[in-house]
Structure 1
Amino acid sequence: MVIKVFFPQCCNRADSGLLVGRWLAGYDSAVVLAVIHYPFIPSTVKQYIQQVQSRSGVQLSVLGSWSLPAEGDMESFLRDLSSIFPQRRWLQISRQTGKTGFSCSVLNTERKNSLFQIPVKKEQKREDREEREEEEEREDESDQKVIFIHYEQRKVMLSQLHRDESEGADPNPEPTSELTQMFESVSRSQALFFLDKYDEGPVKSTHWQSEGREASIVVELCKQGAVPVCSVVSAVLHLLTSLCSLRMFHVFPLPFVWSKLSTCVQLSFRTERLKKLFSTATAPDHMTFMRKSNTFVSVLLDVALGLLLMSWLYRDDHISSIANALVPAADHVAKELKGLLQWLMGAPAGLKMNRALDQVLGRFFLYHIHLWISYIHLMSPFVESLLWYGGLSAALGLSMAVSLLSDMIALLTFHIYCFYVYGARLYCMKVYGLSSLWRLFRGKKWNVLRQRVDSCSYDLDQLFIGTLLFTILLFLLPTTALYYLVFTLLRLVVVVVQGVLHLTVDFINSFPLFSVGLRVCRPYTLADGVKFRVLCDEPGTCLHLLMEINPLKLSSVVRTYRSPNDSRRKDSWAALINKLFIGELVYPWKHKAEKTD
């Protein structure tokens, strides 16, 4: 039988004493967490272990003894301690002179205790009983082989082992694998690592913080001031949420307008994230801590980039330059649209169009351009003021400024959206009319109640009127389709620009910057598994392996810790092309729960 002992590298040169750790449930493996040095009082050691066990929740015990080659006279003393600290197995580990590896003997204390309970006859001598004990111990040592797995306790303590998806889907939250139990034992034994060699405590021990605990005055001050700051910010956010939930803000059409403005959506999303960030209701687990850390770092970076944008906007009078260039740009776009409409009202690309319908549609769209240019010139004196006050939104973050830019683009291109809606509705009406009349020729109709196509018989008058309407719609379709195609392409250009802005905002909101930085700077903190390599295989000693942590892949880090942000509607390319082909309106801002018309 092979026994695996996870031994911390910080204890390789520790003074003689007792090994404190735990046996892993269901495995012949032991995790050594610390070495308690001699001199000590056994009752004090037991009381100290019980206190640590009550605070950490880990079943700790004395696994055996540890002795250095220079202190060989203590080996017999430490061996006798197995009767004071009862265990099923007692590990007696010692270093050998001139060798790097350890030697380990495993004592079966249950068999030893059973030997003492056997009634001994008067004529049996004490020497016979001792010989029998030695023979039993030699048999145990010959049957058991020990493998030492050295691990860096600090890295294991600060790391988080990520389970496989199959294991994570297990409804049983208790760790089952040997490696998971080992990582859980080290990470939950923080109470055992509080004492170092400079503290006056009941015992002296060696562990990863025995040379002095890692601490920072700045970190401790932040921890002390985090609770009142979180309480104040949380109260302010709840007050703002309560004010926004008043009935006066829910009168139609205010909720409809707020749901369509990217700035309002981003402001609501930022408020909810800040409420979760400054919430102190429960102690966070690993995933909650990482989500809050990612949110905190992303908000800080977002605000820093927003302040940089503000410093550029309000320096060297850039806002005035943008405002002065905005109206000429709108006039240039309107001029190009007029030229495009005049080209469509003639013979575009040599195509023969229906002249009457072509003239009606062209004049209709030209009148809309005239109205829009008049509106732009009417608002031109206020453009600089709007940009000046709108630039202040960058103080809330770059994402807020980008959302405001997306809304401004939507307002400035509203006439293109109107053209697209008019053309799409007219084209869709003709497509559905042609499909319905085509079913009439085949003797079928659409059953509205059962949502299916049924057979139907038509009389001669119905067929004549259907043929007449089908011919009219068919010959008017190319003119309508051409206008629909042109304005759909213009609308798609605007949608692509807005989509890039929305992707930028989503990237800022959901990208796990803290997790990626932790993976780059401290890759051992996010563990995907471990690997072993032979550390020492000397004759006369046990096999020694070194356990190294495999860091989690960057793609897995992004996928695991990415903040959920599924507010945008996500359609497949096939569904999008189908909508464009039949003339249905494409709303990129609609949520998944909503339905398009």
Structure 2
Amino acid sequence: MVLKAFFPTCCASVDSGLLVGRWVPEQSAAVVLAVVHFPFIPIQVKELLAQVQQASQLGMAVLGTWCHCQQELEESLGHFLEGLGTIFSHDPWLQLCREKGTRCWSCKAIYHQVSSSPDTPSEDQVMLIFYDQRKVLLSWLHPPMTVPNCQAGDVTASARGLAAIFDTVSRSKMLFHSDRFDESPVRLSHWQSEGVEASILVELAKWASGPVCLLVASMLSIISAAVSALCVLPRLWNLWPLSFIRSKLSACEQLRHRLEQLSLVFSTQKAQSPTQLMRKANMLVSVLVDVALGLLLLSWLYSNDRIGQLANALIPGADRVAEELQHLLQWLMGAPAGLKMNRALDQVLGRFFLYHIHLWISYIHLMSPFIEHILWHVGLSACLGLTIALSILSDIIALLTFHIYCFYVYGARLYCLKIYGLSSLWRLFRGKKWNVLRQRVDSCSYDLDQLFIGTLLFTILIFLLPTTALYYLVFTLLRLLVVTVQGLIHLLMDFINSLPLYSLGLRLCRPYRLAAGVKFRVLEQEAGRPLRLLMQINPLPYSLVLCTYRLPSYGCHPKHSWSSLCCKLFLGELIYPWRQRGDKQD
């Protein structure tokens, strides 16, 4: 039988002593965590292991002996090391030796309580696996991904074995900290035996994180209480007009999303799992990067009088858009592309839309003296984050193009009315009708007067349809152009909100922290020598880092599929291609 011994690379050059670790029987593996050096008293070693086991709830034991120089080993020391197996009595008892000045190792496992069966061997060979104790301790092993051409049971078994190894090292922090003070009676060698790896800034940040989180959480609760106190009745926000306006303004939704993230980040409740801790870190870094980008935008806007330049360019831009729309409507009121239009309906629709453009331009010119002041105060919102500024920009675009939305709604309603009228009259010619109660098409018999009136209405609608369809097509294209611009802004906001920057930075700077598995490299494979392997951590791929740690975002995403979108466009139904994640489907 071949046993697996996981040996830390930091202990490969230390002096002789005892191997302290944990035995994993289901994997037939021994995880060596530290080496106890001479001189020591066995009762003190047992007391230390009992204290560590009580603190970490991890079964610690002396697994065997470690000898660094076998050739110069004194006979008394050899007998002493062999006698330690009877004192600590662990089966199997490992004996690891390394010859001085060479790369040769001797590894074997001895059973003190030999079975009565003659076929049961009293000594087993050991496969030595080296591992970096620091990387294994700091890494987090993720669940295994589905691998093709591999049995599910094998993948589960290997994953459980790796999880047991990683869990053993991660829960043995008390053992690594036990000899930090000078009064410790037992001297150990492990990855922190030469000094605790830490920074004074990190330690100060850890001590200050508790009061800072408590202070920020109190401030957030005060802000929430003040916002609630500003309203006469807190339930006013749930009334129809206010709730409708709040749901349509991207700035309100983004502010609510950021407040929820800050409340979660600065909550005094301790994270229950590494996933929650990583989520908090990603949220904090996302907010900090968002605010930093917002401050950069703020410094750019308020330098060289760019706010005034934007305000001065807004009115001419609105006039230019209105002029182009007027030219477009005049082109539609003539003979667009040589098409023969219904002149009466064409003139009515054209003058109706021209009047709306006139009203809109009059409103813009009325607001022109206040535009620079409005933009100056709106620009200050960038200090809250780039996403807040982008959401306000999306709302401004929606307000400035409100007349295009009105044109689209008028054209879509008129076109939809004619389409449904033509479909009803077409069923009349076939002797069918729509049953409202049963929601289906049933047969029906019509008299001559009904058929005559239906034919007359069908003829009128079919001849008016091209004029209405052309206006509907033009204004739908304009509306889709505006929606595309807003959609790109919302996609950028969603990208900033959901990007796990901390996890990506951790994957870039310290890839071993996010482990997807391990790989083994053969160090020595010779006849008569134990097999020696080096366990290396496979980092989690960037794509899986994005999928695993992607932050939830309120951002918008397409509501309809391409087929349903084309169907709604053809039937003239109002479309809202972007919706909030919390909204319900139609």
CA shift digits 1:445-479 (9 cap, x unpaired): 22223322222222222222222222211111111
Mapped to 1, the partners of 2:495 and 2:259 lie a distance apart of 17
Q: In structure 2, what is the Cα distance between the partners aligned to 1:197 and 1:244? A: 50
Which of 100, 105, 109 is equivalent to 2:108? 105
Residue of structure 2 in register with 1:398 after alignment:
386
8 Å CA contact 1:149–1:547 kept in 2: the answer is yes
SS in 1 for 2:579: coil
Aligned to 2:23: 23
Q: Which moved more, 1:364-373 or 1:96-105?
A: 96-105
Q: Is the 8 A contact 1:437 1:470 kept in 2?
A: yes
Q: Aligned equivalents of 1:401 and 1:165: distance in 2?
A: 39
Tell me the residue number matched to 2:231.
none
Contact 1:568–1:588 (CA under 8 A) maintained in structure 2: no
1:119 alignment counterpart: none
Of stretches 469-478 and 190-199 in structure 1, the one that deviates more from structure 2 is: 190-199
CA-CA distance at 1:194 after TM superposition: 1.3
Mean CA deviation greater in 69-78 or 14-23: 69-78
Provide the C-alpha distance between the structure 2 equivalents of 1:390 and 1:175, rounded to a whole number of angstroms: 57
Partner of 1:497: 485
Would you say the 8 A contact 1:16–1:66 is kept in 2? yes
Task: Compute the displacement of 1:408 (Å).
Answer: 0.6
Change in CA separation of 1:594 and 1:68 when aligned onto 2, cut-off 3 Å = closer
| 1:425 counterpart SS class | helix
Two-structure CA RMSD over aligned residues (Å): 2.4
Match of 2:309 in 1: 321
Q: Distance in 2 between matches of 1:83 and 1:439?
A: 97
Q: What does residue 513 of structure 1 align with?
A: 501
| Amino acid aligned to 2:133 | Q
Q: Distance in 2 between matches of 1:226 and 1:593?
A: 33
- Conserved in 2, the CA contact under 8 Å of 1:297 and 1:513? yes
Residues 1:283 and 1:44: Cα distance change in structure 2 (over 3 Å):
farther
Question: Any idea what the Cα deviations from partners look like across 1:56-91, whole Å, max 9, x if unmatched?
Answer: 222221111111224444232122122222222111
| Greater mean deviation of Cα atoms: 561-570 or 33-42 | 561-570
**What letter matches 2:413 in structure 1?**
R
Question: Which residue pairs with 1:155 in the alignment?
Answer: 135
Secondary structure in structure 1 of the residue aligned to 2:353: helix
Checking the alignment, whether the CA contact within 8 Å between 1:103 and 1:540 is kept in structure 2 is no
Counterpart in 2 of 1:264? Answer: 252
Where do 1:327-476 residues align within 5 Å?
327-476=315-464
Q: Which residue of 1 aligns with 2:567?
A: 578
**Please, which of 210, 222, 235 is the counterpart of residue 239 of structure 1?**
222
More deviation, 519-528/563-572: 563-572
Equivalent position to 1:590, from 559, 579, 582: 579
Deviation string for 1:399-422 (max 9, x for gaps)? 111111111111111111111111
Q: Which residue of 2 aligns with 1:130?
A: none
In the alignment, the residues of structure 1 paired with residue 416 and residue 206 of structure 2 have an alpha-carbon distance, to the nearest angstrom, of 61
Change (3 A) 1:576 1:541: same
Are residues 1:201 and 2:184 paired? yes
Q: Distance in 2 between matches of 1:538 and 1:251?
A: 80
- 1:215: which partner in 2? 198
Report what 1:39 is aligned to: 39
Range moving further from structure 2, 377-386 or 307-316: 307-316
Q: Is the 8 A contact 2:427 2:433 kept in 1?
A: yes
Q: Give the letter for the 2:564 counterpart.
A: A
The correspondence for 1:560, drawn from 542, 548, 551, is: 548
Deviates more, 1:458-467 or 1:375-384: 458-467
8 Å CA contact retained: 2:137, 2:170? yes
Bigger mean CA offset, 362-371 vs 10-19: 10-19
Q: CA deviation at 1:238?
A: 2.5
Distance (whole Å) between structure 1 residues aligned to residue 514 and residue 354 of structure 2: 61
Cα distance change, pair 227–36 in 1 and its aligned pair in 2 (3 A): same
1:225 aligned to 183, 208, 226, which one? 208
Partner-residue secondary structure (3-state), 2:143: coil
Q: Deviations over 1:238-267 (max 9, x none)?
A: 233344452344444112111100100100
SS, match of residue 58 in structure 2? coil
1:176 deviates by: 6.1
* Inter-partner Cα distance in structure 1 for 2:101 and 2:226: 76
| Pairwise CA distance, 1:540 | 4.1
CA contact (8 A) 2:106 2:530 kept: yes
Separation (CA, whole Å) in 1 of partners of 2:511 and 2:318: 52
1:591 is aligned with what amino acid? Q
1:101–1:536 Cα contact (<8 Å) kept: no
2:4 is paired with a residue whose SS is: strand
For residue 153 of structure 1, what is the amino acid of its counterpart?
A: Q
CA distance in 1, matches of 2:585, 2:197: 57
CA contact 1:510–1:565 (8 Å) conserved in 2? yes
Kindly tell me: are residues 156 and 249 of structure 1, through their superposed partners in 2, closer, same or farther at Cα, counting changes over 3 Å?
same
- In structure 2, what residue type is equivalent to 1:3? L
Checking the alignment, whether the CA contact within 8 Å between 1:536 and 1:545 is kept in structure 2 is yes
SS of the residue 1:84 aligns to:
helix
Distance 2:567 2:524 in 1: 66
> 1:145 is matched with which residue?
125
Please give the TM-score of this superposition, normalised by the length of structure 2.
Answer: 0.93
Give the match's secondary structure for 1:111. Answer: coil
Provide closer, same or farther for how the CA distance between residues 136 and 397 of structure 1 changes in structure 2, counting only shifts above 3 A. Answer: same
Task: Assess, with a 3 A threshold, how the Cα gap between structure 1 residues 136 and 572 changes in structure 2: closer, same or farther.
Answer: closer
Distance 1:591 1:231, change over 3 A: same
Query: 1:483 — aligned with what?
Result: 471
Aligned to 2:171: 188
Quote how far apart the aligned CAs of 1:312 are: 1.1
Kept after mapping to 1: 8 A contact 2:96/2:107:
yes
- Which runs of 5 or more structure 1 residues have no equivalent in the other structure? 116-134
Q: Is the 8 A contact 1:155 1:525 kept in 2?
A: yes
Aligned mates of 2:400, 2:585 — CA distance in 1: 24
The whole-number CA distance in structure 1 between the counterparts of 2:469 and 2:491 is: 31
Secondary structure of 1:110's partner?
coil
- 2:90 matched residue in structure 1: 87
Residues 145 and 436 of structure 1, relative CA distance in 2, 3 Å threshold: farther
Q: Is 1:77–2:80 an aligned residue pair?
A: yes
Find the residue that maps to 1:186 and give its secondary structure.
helix
Task: Please tell me the residue identity of whatever aligns with 1:215.
Answer: A
Match of 2:162 in 1: 179
- Offset, 1:568: 2.4
- The answer on whether the counterparts of 1:260 and 1:589 sit within 8 Å (CA) in structure 2 is no
Distance 2:107 2:487 in 1: 65
Residue deviations 1:351-399, cap 9 Å, x none?
0011111111101100000000000001000000000000100000111
Q: Distance in 2 between matches of 1:311 and 1:438?
A: 63
State the shift of 1:591 in Å.
3.3
CA contact (8 A) 1:4 1:149 kept: yes
2-side partners of 1:18 and 1:64: how far apart?
A: 6
How far 1:175 sits from its partner (Å)?
Answer: 9.7
Alpha carbons 1:354, 1:476 under 8 Å: kept: yes
Going from structure 1 to structure 2, the CA distance change for 1:136 and 1:492 (only over 3 Å counts) comes to: closer
Deviation at 1:574, TM superposition (A): 1.9
* Distance in 2 between residues matched to 1:429 and 1:145, nearest whole Å: 85
Q: Is the 8 A contact 1:277 1:295 kept in 2?
A: yes
SS in 2 for 1:30: strand
